[in-house]
Amino acid sequence: MPAFYLSSLLAFTGGHMVNYAVILYLQEKVGSDLLSGIGFGLSFGTSIVFGWFAGVLCDRISPTRVIHAAQALFVLCLAGLWWTDAGASGTTRVGWTLFSAFLGGLAWSFVGPARLATLGQIAPPDKLKPATIIFNLQVLLGFGLAPVVIGLVRSRYGWPAVFATGMGFFVAASLMLLGTRTRGSDRPGQGVFTELGEGFSAVKANPLLLQLILAAIMAYAMTGPMQILLPKLAREVLGLSELQRGGYLGLMALTLILGGVSALLLGKYLHHGAAIFVGTMTASLLFASLSHWTSAGVSATALGAMGLLGGMVISFIIAGIQGQAPEALRGRIMSIYSIISQVVPAASGVAAGALVRATGVTQAILYAGVGLAGLALLAAALMPQLRRVAR
């Protein structure tokens, strides 16, 4: 298990490095917020097509084999970005960057469901929920560490070193899984769409599982605006240097992991349904408040509180979904969650790119935060089963 967790940390750090690199590269080398939003959309958005097949595949064959193939795609994506930086120019640079982002999105489609399906096989049943929260800590920490690694490496060695570092993370992550054994299904395949239908039917038949899935959509809707708008806020409003921007964005690393640890330690005492809804509303309003602060210290404090709540909310949601997923359908159920965690940020990131182009960064942050808080309030009223879940 420790090797799996460390492998997950390296893989998700590398994966989020891809996302941030595409955003920052298009913002700075091409000078287009709209293209950076489209690039981020490609980095995650292909899951809406390929993520469904990933879930079926993870229930058919050993999910560790799927992990290795997905991480090889990430290496290819970073190699494409490296070549683009070295040899492309003008419109060619845009095309190759977006194509590389597509390869990264294809990799994301498979790596999330495969790792969650693997965890379901290697963790003891009575430890699955806390194991899932610990796994989610690696995801959240990778999300927070990615901009720090990019800032540190790029400030000293430039973009090629950033791409090489990400490739090294994926190679190491694959090597750490060589001793992990998982199994596929022993029943004959019934066709992709038939098996997908089984997964949807299982979600529909379980109201709590359905509402947890909807809560994941709500929670991940904030991720896209954060990744698109916060780098621009740090540069244009707070006036931070590149290294300071990496630290500001990397603050999420500490607070997200503290939020996950809080979920692990306080899960027995907190009312999970209330924590999900109240935490999401509060985090959204804190995000909206970033539009008003010009002090880096105050802005960082609000950002840290937002990360703390976000880490706790996501941990409760993913542990709940993992706990409700039937063993035979785990790959398909977790692929739905993984698609949400990738497609929703991609869609909201594209929307944030268009919004900031139309209104400016501070107004875009205000509108996004208030809108998401309103969505959480509406969800609390419409999801009685989740609202009543105490543990």
Position 281 pLDDT exceeds 90: yes
Structural contact between residues 303 and 253, judged by C-beta atoms closer than 8 angstroms: no
Would you tell me how many other CB atoms lie within 10 Å of the CB of residue 126?
8
Question: Left if phi > 0, otherwise alpha if psi is -120 to 50, otherwise beta: which for 240?
Answer: beta
Q: Which residue has the higher pLDDT, 196 or 104?
A: 104
In single-letter form, the type of residue at position 131 comes to A
Judged by DSSP in three states, 342 sits in: helix
Average pLDDT over residues 213-239: 87
As a dihedral over the C-alpha atoms of residue 22, residue 24, residue 28, residue 31, rounded to 10 degrees, the angle is 70
pTM: 0.78
Average pLDDT in the 170-181 region? 92
Q: Please choose, from the candidates 317, 31, 329, 70, the residue with its C-alpha nearest in 3D space to the C-alpha of residue 177.
A: 70
| Other C-beta atoms lying within 10 Å of the C-beta of residue 236 | 12
- What pLDDT was estimated at residue 216? 92
Sign of torsion, CA 193 199 203 209?
negative
Specify the amino acid at residue 8.
S
pLDDT in tens, 374-387: 999 999 889 988 98
Check residue 377 and give its pLDDT. 92
Q: What is the pLDDT of residues 87-137, one digit of tens each?
A: 777 678 788 888 888 999 899 889 988 998 898 888 887 788 888 888 988
Query: Which tens digits make up the pLDDT trace of 30-62?
Result: 777 777 778 877 876 677 788 888 888 888 888
Q: What is the mean pLDDT of the chain?
A: 86
Is residue 371 scored above 70 in pLDDT?
Answer: yes
CA 33-224-293 angle, to 5 degrees, is 80
Q: Which of 142-146, 175-179, 202-206 is predicted with the least confidence, judged by mean pLDDT?
A: 142-146
**Confidence band, pLDDT 50/70/90 cuts, at residue 271:** confident
Name the most confidently modeled range: 140-144, 179-183, 275-279.
275-279
The reported pLDDT for the residue numbered 225 is 87
- The stretch 183-212 carries a mean pLDDT of 80
CA pair distance 159, 164, nearest whole angstrom: 9
> pLDDT at position 295, please?
86
Q: Rounded CA gap, 256 and 272, in Å?
A: 17
Question: pLDDT-derived band of residue 391, with 50, 70 and 90 as boundaries?
Answer: low
Which DSSP letter does residue 125 get? G
pLDDT value of position 168? 96
Look at residue 283 in the predicted model and tell me its pLDDT. 94
With 70 as the cut, is the pLDDT of residue 352 above it? yes
pLDDT band at 289 (very low <50, low <70, confident <90, very high): very high
**Residue spans of alpha helices (H) in the chain:** 2-25, 33-45, 47-60, 63-87, 90-122, 128-157, 159-175, 192-205, 207-220, 223-236, 242-266, 272-289, 296-324, 330-359, 361-382, 384-388
pLDDT digits (tens, 9 = 90+) for 143-159: 878 888 998 898 888 88
